[in-house]
Amino acid sequence: MLLLFVSCAPIYVNYDFEKSTDFSKFKTYNYYGDMQTGLSALDTKRLLDVLDLKMAQKGFSLSDKPDFYIDIKSSEFQAAQRNTVGVGVGGGGRNVGGGISIGLPIGQANVNRQIIFEFVDEEGIGLFWQAISESSFNPNATPEKREARFTAIVDKILVKYPPK
């Protein structure tokens, strides 16, 4: 039930990759030691645990001498207020008209989070694959809901890795 609720909120992902890359040569990975995710320490651990699990399911393994490194960055922002009520005043007559209209916001603005995943081949071509996810974020979510959200995000970003 929780996963169904979390998966209802849309997660948008944009992918990009270096088209000359031979993805079959990448079997092991690790994270940059100085990675600044922009997440709390607990959220970083949750995200990396989920990513490790999903990468293992795809046949990749964590290594001290990896084929590629993963860098993760995130940022939070408030989405534009979309719910408004319009109030207008107008008048006219004798071929003269005019009007004023304003939009009044209703409710709270949503907080969104963008997470950028970059796969880098330090021995070769450098950055070879990137996924940028954007989704709503509840800063007051429980640890279980946060983990479920990270699972949904990682599932969505890894759908197209490696590219076909």
**Within a domain: 85:** no
pLDDT of residue 91: 59
**Within a domain: 124:** yes
Measured distance CA(128)–CA(130) in Å, rounded: 7
**Within a domain: 144:** yes
For residue 157, what are the domain limits? 13-20+36-76+111-164
**Within a domain: 152:** yes
pLDDT of residue 60: 98
Over the Cα atoms of the chain, what is R_g? 22
Number of domain units in the chain: 1
- 2 contacts 148 by C-beta, under 8 angstroms: yes
CATH code of 118's domain = 3.30.160
Whole-structure pTM value: 0.78
**Within a domain: 68:** yes
pLDDT of residue 98: 59
**Within a domain: 97:** no
pLDDT of residue 7: 45
| Closest among 75, 72, 77, 65 to 27, alpha carbons compared | 65
pLDDT in tens, 90-126: 555 666 555 566 665 655 567 899 999 999 999 999 9
pLDDT of residue 95: 64
Low-confidence ranges of the chain (pLDDT < 50): 1-7
Phi, psi of 30 (to 5 degrees): -155, 175
- β-pairing, 84-93 vs 111-121, is unpaired
**Within a domain: 94:** no
Only one residue has tokens 């959220």, namely 43
| Helix, strand, or coil (residue 105) | strand
Q: How many other C-beta atoms lie within 10 A of the C-beta of residue 137?
A: 19
Q: Within 13 Å and on the Cβ side, how many CA atoms surround 115? A: 24
Measured distance CA(99)–CA(90) in Å, rounded: 4
**Within a domain: 27:** no
